Amino acid sequence: MSALPIMIGVLCVLAIAYRYYSAFLAAKVCVLDDKRVTPAHTHNDGQNYHPTHKWVLFGHHFAAISGAGPLIGPVLAAQFGYLPGLLWLLIGVVLAGAVQDFIVLVASVRNDGKSLAEIVKREIGPVAGIAAGMAIIFILVIALAGLGIVVVNALAESVWGTFTIAMTIPIAFMMGIYSYRLRVGKIGEATIFGVAALLLSVAAGRAVAESGWGHIFLLSKNQITLSLMIYGFFASVLPVWLLLCPRDYLSSFLKIGTILLLVVGVIIINPTLRLPAITEFVHGGGPIIPGKVFPFVFITIMCGAVSGFHSLVASGTTPKMVSKESHCRTIGYGAMLIEGLVGIVALIAVSHLAPGDYFAINVPKDKMPSLNLMGYHIEELPVLEVQVEEKVEGRTGGAVSLAIGMAKIFSALPGFKGLMAYWYHFAIMFEALFILTTIDTGTRIARFVLQEMLGKVLPRFGKNDWLPGTLLTSLLTVSAWGYFIFTGNIATIWPMFGIANQLLAAIALCVGTTIILKTRGLKYAWITLVPMLFVLVTTGTAAWEMVTTTFLNWTRSEVVSEKIRGYVDISLTLFIVMCVVIVMIAAAGKWRLIQSKTERSF
């Protein structure tokens, strides 16, 4: 199968969805009005609330929501073949993911930039608000661990990749100081500097790796994890204009530019999808994801289709920086469509690999003999390892195989032949930037939610400008997700991440349904109700299968660490499911009340 027809069809669907469906949501469902003053103006403190240029905020929001999910999920789900993932990405992003992000962003902007938990409390009830808040904390920790472990696997023992990623931090500092203090509002000048410095860092990576001091950036997995925790802590407590916004803005340039280049590459070279549309693993027993295509494709691919984590960004940092309500359409719906495109081009890139090479990279080496018996043999991998100057066999997690696929497409473009090593490390940096921008924003959001909850007991914690509270909640957050990275791996964390993330999406869509019922009536409630029910069914089924098979099997292990992990995962899954059930029961009661009293408030 050639990739070109798929690419053209996808671009047409996404363009039509933005032009017509998002316009319908903006005009008829949300009724956006620029006369409403946003919290970025009413609560402007220069720290968390700050009116931000539409496209700068688009960059921050896109960078924050597009972590590892749209890259890694489709790569792992490719074991089922490219067709299941392609359909879920395209249908899911248009009818569920972008709708959720848009509705929640508008709701938060109209609620003083409050978090999802606070919106649940106001719109559904206090009990549901407490349950949602507790679920969000646990879900955020698991989500950040799931995203973080991918970058750990990709950067461990890679001087070139680690150096390039490390350089993005001082570059962001300089951009922030330049555009917000030295040359206020001169975003274009800061952008030119940032992009040029970033590309120079990629080019310099090889020289650093070969230098006598390159060993400084040669870090083990544990050292990478500790470095991520330190970065997440400081990104959570520093002013948004100094590190978070400029780094995310810079990352969004690289992300969107790379995706556009990849789209152009697919159109020009028209790569053949060597992975089949459907594999025998749709019936279960896969070497990467052991479950069947239903329901596991829906929790393996989250970001890119629908992701609960996005609702936290849409009710976290972003609404505190929205300058006008009309910007919500582009930022909320538009950014999510771009993320869906990211997921689809990632799926195309990895499907360009030979099936045997795909599995050789994404499964431990000891599993390859059984795959050889099934007809999956290594074809080009030894040559590819020479070309990219890295050992990639058995580098599980999806990031490495995607980087190989992207490098193959880029190096096939006219004038780029022979640059596989540079393109591979560029792709690794591209993926790591996706993840790190989610780690910094996610840690900050978790800090907001934790402060809101602790503020109910100790009021000073509820003040975002109280430094001791900010430091303590940030430290607790990074310690929690760091623990899961230290003790887990991609096979244990990613399914748990998928279940937790999609259950959070169900909560967000539930809130959206409640708001639409109150403001627009039953006529438009299907917009969020149908996706919510679908997510509940697929994720509930996956949660049941994971608990009754995988997690229970771990509890029977003779290895103490595995036994503990099994009990922890079962406890967390059941706790999150219980919280979601509480929210759904409370929401059902609220819906009956709305219908009987025809409440109106938005």
CATH number given to 3-157+219-597: 1.20.1740.10
pLDDT at 602 (0 to 100): 47
Amino acid type, 474: S
pLDDT per position as a tens digit, 341-358: 999 999 999 999 999 999
8 Å CB contact between 86 and 77: no
Give the confidence band of 191 by pLDDT, cuts at 50, 70, 90: confident
Residues 175-191: what's their mean pLDDT?
75
Residue 300 has pLDDT above 80, yes or no: yes
Which tokens go with 482?
A: 């760091």
pLDDT at 144 (0 to 100): 84
Residue 326 has pLDDT above 50, yes or no: yes
Q: What gap in Å lies between CA 517 and CA 525, rounded to an integer? A: 6
- Give helix then strand counts, H and E, for the chain: 27, 0
- 47-53: long-range pairs with CB below 8 Å, 24+: 47/239, 47/240, 47/464, 47/465, 48/240, 48/317, 48/320, 48/464, 48/465, 49/113, 49/320, 49/321, 50/240, 50/241, 50/320, 50/321, 51/321, 51/323, 52/245, 52/321, 52/322, 52/323, 53/187, 53/323
CA 63 → CA 66, 434, 435, distances in Å? 5, 6, 9
φ, ψ (nearest 5 deg) of residue 23: -65, -40
pLDDT at 306 (0 to 100): 95
More reliable by pLDDT, 600 or 177: 177
Amino acid type, 597: K
- Tokens 């992975």: give the residue: 275
Residue 490 has pLDDT above 70, yes or no: no
CA 276 → CA 216, 268, 307, distances in Å? 42, 22, 27
pLDDT at 599 (0 to 100): 47
pLDDT per position as a tens digit, 408-436: 999 998 888 878 888 888 888 777 776 77
Q: Where are the beta strands (DSSP E) in 318-396?
A: none
pLDDT at 418 (0 to 100): 79
pLDDT per position as a tens digit, 86-124: 999 999 999 999 999 999 999 999 999 888 888 999 999
